[in-house]
Amino acid sequence: MQSVALLLLLWSLSFGACVSMRIIGGQEAKPHSRPYMASLQSQGEHECGGFLVARRWVLTAAHCLDSPGGESRVVLGVHSLSRKESTKQVFRIASFHRHPNASKSGRDDISLIKLEKPATLTDAVKPIVLHRSAKAVPEGAEVSTAGWGYIDNSGTLPDVLHEVSLQVLSRNRCEKYYANHHDFSGDMICASACKRKSPKMLCKDTCVGDSGGPLVYREEAVGVLSFGGNLCGIYNQPGVYLLVSHYIPWIDSVMASQ
């Protein structure tokens, strides 16, 4: 998985104190309990997460596939990245649609991937419902996410899908934490879970390899994982997600035009 480590290095150099994300403090997910999860791969190696929103469409972060090449694939229906699974479906990318305003500051870091053909819907492959309501997810609400990214700051990569439960943080806290690193906007939300505020205490969080994955609230995708701190699981460097509801018009427009 050398490419994931390279992604971390490049992202760190490009964005300073903020890097793409992984699952820390979570646990192995029940196999195929999140049938919308997608692994975005290059040359057979996992790079980012994503999630199925329609039979031919996967939502992810714009920075995950800046220039998707011929070796890029989207893998659905898997729990393990290495073991043979009869539920596995692999797709070439028909087209990649970055948000037109996507920038290196983290703004509008969202994209849609059109699969070469429709996914076959099974118990292991199903789209997740997008959160369309403009009503904000309340501070302190329990949310969750999942991915195949790092499970510690030493770069340990899991073979199987991990998941973690988090809490939504207040906007004031997010703006304070990222005041000097990112242009935190109303299109973003922060989530983590810490027992206490301590630089030595690892919080439940996400990291390298998890970018593009969904933030889930009441069985709906409310966010797309975009960025976090240069270390994962630090109380004042929580994961930052783009709010799906703010991008519904763009999502609907892209999918309808194709």
Evaluated on CA atoms 195, 140, 205, 17, the torsion sign reads negative
Evaluated on CA atoms 202, 204, 205, 208, the torsion sign reads positive
d(CA 130, CA 223): 9
Token code pair at residue 201: 């205490």
Which single residue is written with the structure tokens 């028909």?
94
d(CA 67, CA 64): 9
Q: Where are the beta strands (DSSP E) in the chain?
A: 18-19, 27-28, 37-42, 45-54, 57-60, 72-76, 89-98, 111-115, 129-130, 142-147, 162-168, 188-192, 214-217, 220-229, 239-243
223 to 4, 81, 168, 240: CA distances (angstroms): 22, 24, 11, 9
H helices present in the chain, as ranges? 2-15, 171-177, 248-257
Q: Is residue 21 helix, strand or coil?
A: coil
Please give the positions annotated as active site.
63, 109, 211
